Amino acid sequence: MKRIQILMFLLFASSALFAQNSQTKSDDAARITLTTVVPDQIEGLTPAAQSNLENKLSQIASKNGMGGSSLNNRFIITANVVVATKDITATAPPMHAYTLEITLYIGDGIEGTLFSNTTVTLKGVGETETKAYMAALKNLKVDDVKYQAFIEKGKQKIIEYYNGKCDFILKEAEMLANKNDFDAAISKLVGIPEVCKECYDKAMDAVAPIYKKQIDRQCKLNLAEATSAWNKSQDSQGASAAGSFLAKIDPAAACYAEATALSSSIGKRIKELDQREWDFKLKQQKDETDIRKATIQAARDIGVAYGNNQPRNVTYNYRSWW
């Protein structure tokens, strides 16, 4: 118990310190990511144009430090396209000339709250209306400096969201943990960006006991499976089956001592049968630094795995933005 308390103290003290230091880094925005959404009902938007616009928006987010995947896909970057003018040029052969007004938006796609927007005017010429439309879209410069203020405003609004609703998020995580849905609770907490320092610190304090409950429960399940496998066949085959479950047990879990005892018992029996050592070792950490790193990574892995397994067919609410 003392070892676990030391572990948890080191883990979350260092996490809090890291969050404080991280606020001065230039890549703070990278800890908040935007999900790219392009509506199907935009005027003149063909599937190819939709894909092109989606790529452009993703590049704009990435170039401004807010690209990539996220555990929380509620914050989106989207766009609306309005055909301002359609003309036929007085050339031989005649060409189609389009003027598009594209407005980019960042906001909370779940609650439908707009955070930031900016508009650009683009022109394109082509042999057909579709080609003219695509030519105009290609002129959307993803590295335009005007997007910096647009992205920064959206980022600050997202930080305000987390800090303003932090207690509600923590309460949701607590309710999930009380229902033994530890993975969902951990995912909700580790999904809070580090740049949202106030809420992030509270989340790191809250995730420690939930993570401990999660590994304790998994330990019991894996120990039961290992014991069952060994009892069914106390030979090399049974040892191999039991070892596959024992290998999943976290050294900080409450039943680790029982797992160690079972491992020793299996090893002793294998030596009696085959006159050889059982080639298996439980997970172990060499020192406190390794323990801290492993625990941080394990908690994040749980959150990422849970998030990746969730349905992606989210219904967004952004129509009122334009």
Distance CA 64, CA 154 (A): 11
pLDDT at 275: 72
Q: Which residue stretches of the chain are H helix?
A: 2-22, 47-63, 129-138, 146-164, 166-178, 182-190, 197-232, 236-246, 256-274, 288-308
Distance CA 319, CA 322 (A): 6
pLDDT at 63: 92
Other C-beta atoms lying within 10 Å of the C-beta of residue 26: 7
Helix (H, G, I), strand (E, B) or coil at 298: helix
Residue the block writes with tokens 């939709």: 50
| Total residue length of the chain | 322
pLDDT at 302: 85
Distance CA 280, CA 239 (A): 9
pLDDT at 41: 82
Q: Give the class (CATH, top level) of 32-159.
A: alpha beta
Q: Which residue(s) pair with 75 in the sheet?
A: 108
| Residues contacting 207, CB < 8 A, separation 6+ | 173, 185, 186, 189, 190, 299
Amino acid identity of 276? R
Distance CA 194, CA 203 (A): 10
Contact 242, 266 (CB under 8 A): yes
pLDDT at 290: 62
pLDDT at 289: 59
Three-state SS annotation for 126-175: ECCHHHHHHHHHHCCCCCCCHHHHHHHHHHHHHHHHHHHCHHHHHHHHHH
Burial (CB count <10 Å: 0-12, 13-18, 19+), residue 143:
exposed
Sketch the domain layout of the chain as residue ranges: 32-159, 166-308
Contact 105, 322 (CB under 8 A): yes
Residue the block writes with tokens 């993975």: 183
Other C-beta atoms lying within 10 Å of the C-beta of residue 237: 11
DSSP 8-state code for residue 26: T
Distance CA 147, CA 27 (A): 16
- Cα dihedral 114, 39, 152, 115, rounded to 10, equals 0
pLDDT tens-place values along the chain, 322 residues long: 444 443 443 444 444 333 443 333 334 333 688 999 998 888 888 899 999 999 999 999 999 988 877 667 889 999 999 999 999 998 889 999 999 999 999 999 999 999 999 999 999 999 999 999 999 999 999 999 989 999 999 999 999 999 899 999 999 999 999 999 999 999 999 888 888 888 988 988 888 889 899 999 999 999 999 999 999 999 999 999 999 999 999 888 999 999 999 999 999 988 888 777 777 777 776 556 566 566 667 777 888 788 778 776 778 999 899 9
Going by C-alpha positions, the residue among 78, 81, 74 that lies closest to residue 36 is 78
Q: Which two tokens stand for residue 81?
A: 């396209």
The model's pTM is 0.75
